[in-house]
Amino acid sequence: MRALNHWATLSRWVLCTPALLILLLAASGPLLIVLVYSFLSPGAYGGVVWQFSTEGWFRVFFSRDIFDGSVAPAQAHLQIFWRSVRLALLTTFFAALLGFPTAWFIATRPAGTRELWLFLVTIPFWTNLVIRTFAIQEVIRNQGLINSALLNSGLINQPIQMLYTDFAILVGMTYVFLPLMVLPLYASMEKLDGRLLEAAYDLYASRARVLWHVIVPLVKPGFIAGSILVFIPAIGAYVTPRILGGGRNLMLGNLIELQFGQGRNWPLGAALALTLLVIVLVALLIYIRLVMRDPERDHG
């Protein structure tokens, strides 16, 4: 396509100005300030002192003994990093495990009813995150739906402790992010050419082989997109671990918030936030590489 001349380009920029201004003021611009703050010294009551320091970044990975000043890896932080990555990956896995058959089910409905099923998947997604997480809490807590039902039926004598565990966070995140896996999977399944399945069956492929060698490779783009859409909010989750993890089972998001609250260490909080951003960017780069990869290679 031909490029526009100066005036036409300028007029387009002018039209975009309100949006760009709001985004620069209240989204993109402040990110740069986070970078600056991560290199300052913490103030005694929160905030910062304008004095250059790499202590914030240092404290992300290492801790210093208060008495003899010896340096050791920050065990607590590394544990939280590991929990965040592990839970985000597990969430992605379980979302795919449930999401793949669900998307397939929707994609194979008659054209008229497909939109209705799709709508049913999206309704929970558009309802408030706090409420959905609250709902999970009410199902799994000790006096909740599951434990009440089990106790009433006499199957157990004591409630099973599910709330305030990593398991609870995993269940909650899978629940709240599942639609993000179903929608892109559905989009790529809908485009799938039915004749390819027919051809595979004509050549005596079993259902398992068709699934693994025909369907899965063809819907891979949807699967990759769904995975990134689930992984990013899961690794940065704050609300779900706060409600279902109960203060002890922190994830990165809660660790960051802690530095701006009780921790009163804004530079460390800023450095942790940027660390999270780097993890997300790495995930996005992997995503882009996977998408851009020569499609020929997949079938070779």
Partner 1 sequence: MARRAFALNRLPGFTLIAFITFFLLYLPILTLVVFSFNAEASMSIWGGFSVDWYRAAFANRTVQEVSLRSLVIAVSAASVATTAATLAALATTRTPTFRGQTLIYALIHQPLMVPEIVTGVALLIFFAVIKVYTGYTGLAYLIAAHSAFCIPFAYLPIRARLQTMDITLERAAADLYATPLQTFRRITLPLLMPGILAGFMLAFVISLDTVVITEFVKSAGQDTLATYMLGQIRRAVTPEMYAISTLFLLLSILAVAVFFLLSRQRLG
Ranges within 144-183 binding partner 1 (CB under 8 A): 144-145, 148, 151-152, 175, 178
124 is written with which tokens? 């929970």
State yes or no: residue 33 binds partner 1 (CB under 8 A).
yes
User: CA-to-CA distance for 54 and 38, rounded, in angstroms?
Assistant: 8
205 is written with which tokens? 């492929």
For 65, 115, 167, 217, the CA distances from 145, given in Å and listed in that order, are 46, 31, 17, 40
Nearer to partner 1, 28 or 73 (CB): 28
Nearer to partner 1, 18 or 69 (CB): 18
Ranges within 50-89 binding partner 1 (CB under 8 A): none
Q: Which position among 58, 64, 132, 205 is part of the footprint of partner 1 (CB under 8 A)?
A: 132
State yes or no: residue 39 binds partner 1 (CB under 8 A).
no
Q: Which position among 39, 58, 167, 201 is part of the footprint of partner 1 (CB under 8 A)?
A: 201
Closest CA to 57 of 76, 79, 42: 42
The alpha carbon torsion through 90, 94, 100, 105 (nearest 10 deg) reads -160
State yes or no: residue 253 binds partner 1 (CB under 8 A).
yes
Region from 29-37, 53-61, 64-72, 75-83 binding partner 1, contact rule CB under 8 A: 29-37
Q: Which position among 80, 96, 235, 258 is part of the footprint of partner 1 (CB under 8 A)?
A: 235
96 is written with which tokens? 């795919």
User: CA-to-CA distance for 171 and 168, rounded, in angstroms?
Assistant: 5
Nearer to partner 1, 79 or 127 (CB): 127
Nearer to partner 1, 71 or 116 (CB): 116
Q: How far is the CB of 102 from partner 1 (least distance, A)?
A: 4
SS3 36: helix
Burial of 98 (0-12, 13-18, 19+ CB in 10 A): middle
Q: Which position among 78, 79, 105, 161 is part of the footprint of partner 1 (CB under 8 A)?
A: 105
